[in-house]
Amino acid sequence: MNRLTRRQVLLGGGAIAAAGFIQAIPKTPLTPRMRLMREALAADVPQPDYVIRLSANENPYGPARVALKAIDANMHLADRYSANPRELMKVVAELNGMTPDHVVVGSGSGEILRVAGMLTGMTGGSVVCADPTYQDLLRYAEAAGSEIIRIPVNEGLNADLDAMRNAVRADTKLVYLVNPNNPIPSVIEKNALRDFVLEMSESRLVFIDEAYYEYVENPDYASMLSLVAEGRRNIIVSRTASKITAWPVCGLASDMRIPTWYAR
């Protein structure tokens, strides 16, 4: 195959727009490195002053006016440490029908994901996940000593729960699911997921990352927070406020308001 020139790639359409998500696509066995695209967009290629970053869910309109007013009203407190998060934990608990002792807050769900990955790796054992999926927890778990067992999504680009179930070993300490998934915008059917989570959580932790929960309109989708509210053990569900106000700017999936490619 002949090597493409930068001009050929740029004239192919969409190259500049694609530049934003190249770095964000996770490097898993099923995702390409795209070296050619990086070379095509080298520093000597003129680029527009403004590039739409398709790799990130960013609100193109900026912060809401209400948020700006709240920031302005509290700027005089910027030199103080933050208050005790108990009030926030109480509000989150009430919104989700549970008690505050079930809630932990962090600087975005990324912090919670990384802590979970680090602690899992420190205890040894393996982690089972779909592939491709979001990588933060997995990177930290692997760096801390865990073996990551990646199970390819099925032909419909959905998490293969049966294959994941069969991949679980005696040393598996955590099963990780992103629902809706990232970078593939698919959801797991709610009843199948509930049964899977209940089964897996009998002997190990199950972490369900629901960062894009607010964007789903598919009736086959359901949050697993109800299991936590019921008092089920060994289940962690993460959410993030950062996506609620970050409206997607790229292509949308047919059954949910989330982009085809995105990253936190």
Lowest mean pLDDT across 29-33, 123-127, 224-228, 234-238: 29-33
Residue 23 counted as domain residue = no
- Which 8-state DSSP code applies to residue 207? E
Average pLDDT over residues 198-217: 94
Burial class (CB within 10 angstroms; exposed 0-12, middle 13-18, buried 19+) of 48? exposed
Handedness of CA 80, 82, 84, 90 (dihedral sign): positive
Is the bond into 85 cis (omega within 30 degrees of 0)? no
Residue 161 counted as domain residue = yes
Residue 118 counted as domain residue = yes
Total domains in the chain come to: 1
Residue 129 counted as domain residue = yes
Residue 218 counted as domain residue = yes
Return d(Cα 264, Cα 261) in angstroms, integer.
11
Domain that holds residue 120: 84-238
| pLDDT, tens only, 223-235 | 999 999 898 999 9
The CATH number for 128's domain is 3.40.640.10
Residue 28 counted as domain residue = no
pTM check: above 0.85: no
Query: Which pLDDT score, from 0 to 100, does residue 8 have?
Result: 38
Residue 35 counted as domain residue = no
Residue 14 counted as domain residue = no
